Amino acid sequence: MIRILFVCLGNICRSPMAEFIMKDKVRRAGLENAFYIESAATSTEELGNPVYPPAQRKLQEHGISCAGKRARQMQRADYGRFDLLVGMDMENLRHMRQIAGGDPENKMRLLLEFTAHPRAVADPWYTRDFDAAWRDIEAGCEGLLRALGRIDKNQGNP
Ligand code: 4NP
């Protein structure tokens, strides 16, 4: 069982998109029993709120539901509960380290590290471009799934 927590600032746009895109990929690959996936915020800004409607619509366009998801904040205990904690930008990673009190087990990653273009996910909160966010997050999740397939065989770190 691989446990993954996706993290962004508000947990209403980027990290829930990653959560539900990754769940969809895992289901399509027949690997539901091998994964546990959640998402969380670094801030308290949007706690309890549903996924932002334009992000919901983008997921729905691709046949993916995020019904029932409510924003929650990452807790220090999440560091022990998850094998990988995946941020969307470098600020997320900085806040994640603050919340967890560091990253002694080297479990924290930037989502687009799993692509040929490691950089921050295009942030739709500022760009309003949910297509660009979709493309980045989809590519990151695809790369992550492939990386995890490789570590299953090699027993290494992703
Ligand atoms: P997210 O987007 O981090 O991708 O969920 C944001 C949501 C809310 C805010 C910023 C970004 N905010 O400032 O409230």
**How many A from CA of 46 to the centre of ligand 1?**
8
With cut-offs at 50, 70 and 90, classify the pLDDT of residue 156. low
Span between the terminal Cα atoms of the chain, in Å: 15
The answer to the question of residue 157 being in a domain is no
To 10 degrees, what angle do helices 130-154 and 14-28 make? 50
Look at ligand 1, atom 8, and give the residue with the nearest C-alpha: 10
pTM: 0.95
Residue 149: the pLDDT is: 85
The answer to the question of residue 125 being in a domain is yes
Residue 138: the pLDDT is: 98
- Is 123 catalytic? The answer is yes
The answer to the question of residue 100 being in a domain is yes
Looking at the 3D structure of the chain, how many domains does it have?
Answer: 1
Contacting residues for 17 by C-beta, under 8 A, at least 6 apart? 51, 55, 58, 59, 133, 134, 137
Contacting residues for 36 by C-beta, under 8 A, at least 6 apart? 1, 2, 3, 4
13 within ligand 1 shell (Cβ under 6 A)? yes
Residue 132: the pLDDT is: 97
Average pLDDT over residues 151-156: 56
The answer to the question of residue 158 being in a domain is no
| Residues 11-43 pLDDT 10s | 999 999 999 999 999 999 999 999 999 999 999
Is 12:49 a contact under the CB 8 Å cutoff? yes
Arithmetic mean of pLDDT over the chain: 95
Selected catalytic residue, list 109, 123, 136, 141: 123
Query: What is each CA distance from 16 to 19, 104, 124, 143, in whole angstroms?
Result: 5, 26, 13, 17
The answer to the question of residue 156 being in a domain is no
Question: Which residues pair with residue 86 across a beta bridge?
Answer: 6, 109
The answer to the question of residue 29 being in a domain is yes
The answer to the question of residue 123 being in a domain is yes
32 within ligand 1 shell (Cβ under 6 A)? no
What CATH number has the domain bearing residue 37? 3.40.50.2300
Given a cut of 80, is residue 154 above it in pLDDT? no
The answer to the question of residue 147 being in a domain is yes
Q: Could you tell me the residue range of the domain that residue 42 belongs to?
A: 2-151
| Residues 94-120 pLDDT 10s | 999 999 999 999 999 999 999 999 999
